[in-house]
Structure 1
Amino acid sequence: MTDITLALTIFLATVVFLLWRPKGINEAIPPAIGALLLYFFGIVGMADVEYVLGTVSGASITIISTMAMSIVLESMGFFRWVAFNLVAKCDGSGTRLYWSVILLCFFMTVLFNNDGSIVITTPIIIEIVKLLELKPRQQFAYLLSGAIIATASSAPIGVSNLANLIALKIVGVDLVTHTKYMFVPSMMGLSVISLLLYLHFRQDIPQSIPGLSRVCMQLYRKTIGNDYRPPHHKHPSHHGHPPLHGHPSHHGHPPLHEHPPQHQYPPQQAETQVDSGTINWVMFRMYMTIIVLVRVSLFIFSYYGIPIGWAASVGALIIIMLRWFTQGTGIGDVLRKTPWHVFIFAFGMYLVVYGLYNVRFTTTIVDLIKEPVSANLFNSILIIGVLTSIMASLFNNHPSLMLATTIITHMGLELQYVQVTYLAIILGSDIGSLTLPSGTLASLIWMYILRNNGIIVTWKEYISTTIRIIPIGLVVSLLSLYLWVLVLS
């Protein structure tokens, strides 16, 4: 067996097992085994290992630190408070709730990262749709729209996606330049996708949500704990409330049960109680100040060539220590919930892709597309963006982005062409990859969370929506990138 056949076989096997994950194995295991096999057969050497380690370490530290900061905010009940206010402030409008969910998912990704946003927002949305007793199709509208926006929103800012950070270093683009060129085109694409999702689901989004006050109070009581008793009232003598059965689901959801509160409060009063009783706003403001300073420092560090991992890790350490000293909460939940396997995944996956480069597999692809890509800027943006989108949908965006980045850096293009084409790769990887569930790790995490909550979304259901929306959003993003580059030039 030739080296190119062996490397390609290991690469395809790694991708298959990454998507299949038999018996729920951790997603870091297939890339780690693939990397070990390539090293064992001599396709990658120690010099390659050192190069890849230096490339992915800073990006992985940044993502892990960001997720650690999100865990601290979660521990203080902030995200449950957000869920309450999303319902309470929508004033009985299902449409307003829909757009509030979209904005929540966007800002969570910008503030943290796409994987962290999925982990944070999906349970919030699940809780909302179940408390509102929405029908399965109505639940699907909120859940899928939120997931797509949360994942695609990593495109505008490079620090919101692990693969983006790795590619940034390869092509020599700093975060300031990335945001300067990417923010407008990606926001155009996100706006189109959001609008198309709304039009697609408009018949499934309830115009009004009945019983909002009751739902808000139930969510409020769940927020502050089961031991809460409304002020100025005696402890209720019994808890034997008859259950209310929700709508049966063709996805196999168990019936919803709720215990109506003994005392009804209007949403405004409930909100006031939540504000004062469950969130330590002094600490919250301190945490958010640190998080904002960290996000700003990432751009400053990147501009001056300082490793951005330092800023993120120091910020996470400060927040963790602040919580420890002021609230007496240790680091157990951070150590337990932080996805340490992300570093192993990134390192192993990149090494597997690097093996293809070592056996000159990328040279074959370069020979096929070099002439049309080199013809003009429009061709390079469109061809590379669409090619990356197809590869990412089929093989996952992490290896596809790395493979595409390796291809353009060995195509003999001028540096400016390489960097602009890299931006097209980001759009294909972050937006175009959403056509199939296998396209992003965040999408796979999303489906896993849904299954754990008794909500089954099939690939057919997913693709029947995304195939009509994502390609349009991708084309709009790529055309916007071409026009925006001309404007800036």
Structure 2
Amino acid sequence: MSPAVMSVVGVALLLAVLGFAFWRPRGLPEVVLAAPAAGATVLLGIASPQQAWESVHQLGPTLIFLGATLLIAHLLDRDGVFEWLGGILGVRSAGRPARLLLRVFIAAAVTTAVLSLDATVVLLTPAILVTVKRLRFAAAPPLYASAHLANSASLLLPVSNLTNLLAYQAVGLSFAGFTSLMALPWVGAVLVEYAVFRLYFRQQLVALPAAQQVSADTLRAAPRTCLAILAAILAGFGLSPLAGVESVWVAVAGASVLAVRALLRRETHPRALLREINVPFIAFVACLAIVVAGATSHGIESALAALLPSGTSWWSLVMIAGLAAALSNVVNNLPATLLLVAALGHPAAPAAVLAVLIGVNIGPNLTYTGSLATLLWRRVLVSKDAMPSLKTFTLLGVATAPAAIIVAVTGLWVALTYWG
């Protein structure tokens, strides 16, 4: 096949894989189509066996990290961390919807940053929904906040988003270095989201006579042991570079401690733990990397590289983030990250890679298809008989995403200029 034909076939395979992952007919795992597509990519010569192996090999630590963080989030949920957090939100809101929204913003931003956006979508969102129903508040403000912050608040740590993990390998920064550069973008994006939400939902944030209050007496006890282990894991992420230990092994150690504790207390069994690691999804990510490598190695990567600005000025970073946001809404932010990081070349300028992350993490708030997390959020709400509105989601995205990207890029530029 000619390079042009290979590109067409490769892109067709990529779109088929993404379409299947979005809609998951009959609830089948994403890997059901991704694995044959990856095999076809190699068999048809679109990607060589060496390219396929290198794609998966480079992702190895990232995939292990992903499995460990998924297991950590699940075990924290089993110990009641999110139920306890939902109760705290209800008590601290004091019967006022605006207070609840502020506390949901804080909880969702921290949960996303520390435990990843999947924890916010799958574990925190149902807890928020239960709290809202209990308080008889309007559900829309806090529920849409959980969706937006699952994306926008995933800028802070390498563990906050799978896109971060993919870029973390290419950026050449330590865990602390990555976090210090992304702290201002993270704060800026969350503040923009909060300001827009307060304005957009101002009529629904007025306290109503029918609203209820949650008594502190009804709160479950804080799961102190799990919270202490989580604090130790986070401390390990920050201190591990000093000992020459990669962050992935800190995550594995933390997951192992929580898993052994749960097994000894007979709260779970090995098969359940393996299920929560979500091996099919990890295999999907590996297969997707092979398909992306094949789809982009015959001219698309070069075309993207030509579109990307070569400098690291404020305007160049805005352009990179804008292109990343647009691409994430066309092909989803996961393959968009793989495409753009590859297009930036090796070694890539850290500023450019971090600008890509701003675009692929905030940009998906514009459409349901921008990230798998947003589709999962919608699926969670539908299963709870709380169908979200496409119109509201889109209007909020238009009102928040462009402004949040510009503010976040400005924060990145300031961090790079003054302490980068």
TM superposition score normalised by structure 1 = 0.79
User: Once the 2 structures are TM-superposed, how far is the Cα of residue 304 of structure 1 from its aligned partner?
Assistant: 6.2
Partner deviation per Cα, 1:291-311 (whole Å, 9 max, x = no partner): 222223234445666443222
In structure 2, the residue matched to 1:11 is 14
Q: 1:78 to 1:182 in 2, by over 3 A?
A: closer
User: Once the 2 structures are TM-superposed, how far is the Cα of residue 406 of structure 1 from its aligned partner?
Assistant: 0.7
User: Once the 2 structures are TM-superposed, how far is the Cα of residue 100 of structure 1 from its aligned partner?
Assistant: 1.2
Structural RMSD (CA): 2.2
**What one-letter code is carried by the residue in structure 2 that aligns with 1:397?**
N
Q: 1:43 & 1:348 partners in 2: Cα distance?
A: 14
Q: 2:280 & 2:238 partners in 1: Cα distance?
A: 26
Partner deviation per Cα, 1:107-126 (whole Å, 9 max, x = no partner): 21122111122111111112
Q: 2:246 & 2:417 partners in 1: Cα distance?
A: 31
1:153 equivalent in alignment to 2:177? no
In structure 2, the residue matched to 1:188 is 188
**What one-letter code is carried by the residue in structure 2 that aligns with 1:182?**
M
What SS is found at the alignment partner of 2:30? coil
In structure 1, the residue matched to 2:235 is 296
Given that residues 132 and 209 in structure 1 are in contact (C-alpha distance below 8 angstroms), is that contact kept between their aligned partners in structure 2?
A: no
User: Once the 2 structures are TM-superposed, how far is the Cα of residue 382 of structure 1 from its aligned partner?
Assistant: 1.5
User: Once the 2 structures are TM-superposed, how far is the Cα of residue 423 of structure 1 from its aligned partner?
Assistant: 0.7
1:407 equivalent in alignment to 2:374? no
1:343 equivalent in alignment to 2:286? no
**What one-letter code is carried by the residue in structure 1 that aligns with 2:314?**
F
Given that residues 57 and 343 in structure 1 are in contact (C-alpha distance below 8 angstroms), is that contact kept between their aligned partners in structure 2?
A: no
User: Once the 2 structures are TM-superposed, how far is the Cα of residue 403 of structure 1 from its aligned partner?
Assistant: 0.5
**What one-letter code is carried by the residue in structure 2 that aligns with 1:162?**
L
**What one-letter code is carried by the residue in structure 1 that aligns with 2:172?**
G
In structure 1, the residue matched to 2:39 is 36
Q: 2:179 & 2:161 partners in 1: Cα distance?
A: 13
Q: 1:304 to 1:41 in 2, by over 3 A?
A: farther
In structure 2, the residue matched to 1:387 is 323
Q: 2:61 & 2:410 partners in 1: Cα distance?
A: 32
Partner deviation per Cα, 1:351-380 (whole Å, 9 max, x = no partner): 12111332232112223x25xx12552343
In structure 2, the residue matched to 1:451 is 382
**What one-letter code is carried by the residue in structure 2 that aligns with 1:94?**
P
Q: 1:57 & 1:447 partners in 2: Cα distance?
A: 30
In structure 2, the residue matched to 1:323 is 262
After TM superposition, the structure 1 = structure 2 runs for residues 233-312 of structure 1, keeping only pairs within 5 Å, are 267-271=215-219, 274-275=220-221, 284-302=223-241, 306-312=245-251
Partner deviation per Cα, 1:236-292 (whole Å, 9 max, x = no partner): xxxxxxxxxxxxxxxxxxxxxxxxxxxxxxx14334xx33xxxxx5xx333222222
Partner deviation per Cα, 1:187-216 (whole Å, 9 max, x = no partner): 112211121112111112232464525xx3
**What one-letter code is carried by the residue in structure 2 that aligns with 1:192?**
V
Q: State the percentage of identical aligned residues.
A: 22
Given that residues 115 and 151 in structure 1 are in contact (C-alpha distance below 8 angstroms), is that contact kept between their aligned partners in structure 2?
A: no
Q: 1:382 to 1:46 in 2, by over 3 A?
A: same
Given that residues 60 and 342 in structure 1 are in contact (C-alpha distance below 8 angstroms), is that contact kept between their aligned partners in structure 2?
A: no
Given that residues 88 and 268 in structure 1 are in contact (C-alpha distance below 8 angstroms), is that contact kept between their aligned partners in structure 2?
A: yes
In structure 1, the residue matched to 2:101 is 98
Instruction: Point out the more displaced range, 92-101 or 289-298.
Output: 289-298
User: Once the 2 structures are TM-superposed, how far is the Cα of residue 398 of structure 1 from its aligned partner?
Assistant: 0.3
In structure 2, the residue matched to 1:421 is 352
Number of residue equivalences: 417
Instruction: Point out the more displaced range, 46-55 or 117-126.
Output: 46-55
Q: 1:188 to 1:37 in 2, by over 3 A?
A: same
Q: 1:110 & 1:186 partners in 2: Cα distance?
A: 9
In structure 1, the residue matched to 2:409 is 478
After TM superposition, the structure 1 = structure 2 runs for residues 166-185 of structure 1, keeping only pairs within 5 Å, are 166-185=166-185
In structure 1, the residue matched to 2:119 is 116
User: Once the 2 structures are TM-superposed, how far is the Cα of residue 425 of structure 1 from its aligned partner?
Assistant: 0.4
Q: 2:169 & 2:244 partners in 1: Cα distance?
A: 10
**What one-letter code is carried by the residue in structure 1 that aligns with 2:100?**
L
Q: 1:463 to 1:300 in 2, by over 3 A?
A: same
**What one-letter code is carried by the residue in structure 2 that aligns with 1:322?**
R
**What one-letter code is carried by the residue in structure 2 that aligns with 1:57?**
G
User: Once the 2 structures are TM-superposed, how far is the Cα of residue 326 of structure 1 from its aligned partner?
Assistant: 4.0
**What one-letter code is carried by the residue in structure 1 that aligns with 2:30?**
E
Mark the structure with the bigger radius of gyration.
1
**What one-letter code is carried by the residue in structure 1 that aligns with 2:17?**
T
TM superposition score normalised by structure 2 = 0.92
In structure 1, the residue matched to 2:74 is 71
Q: 1:146 to 1:206 in 2, by over 3 A?
A: farther
Q: 2:14 & 2:81 partners in 1: Cα distance?
A: 41
Given that residues 9 and 295 in structure 2 are in contact (C-alpha distance below 8 angstroms), is that contact kept between their aligned partners in structure 1?
A: no
**What one-letter code is carried by the residue in structure 2 that aligns with 1:441?**
L
Q: 1:186 to 1:195 in 2, by over 3 A?
A: same
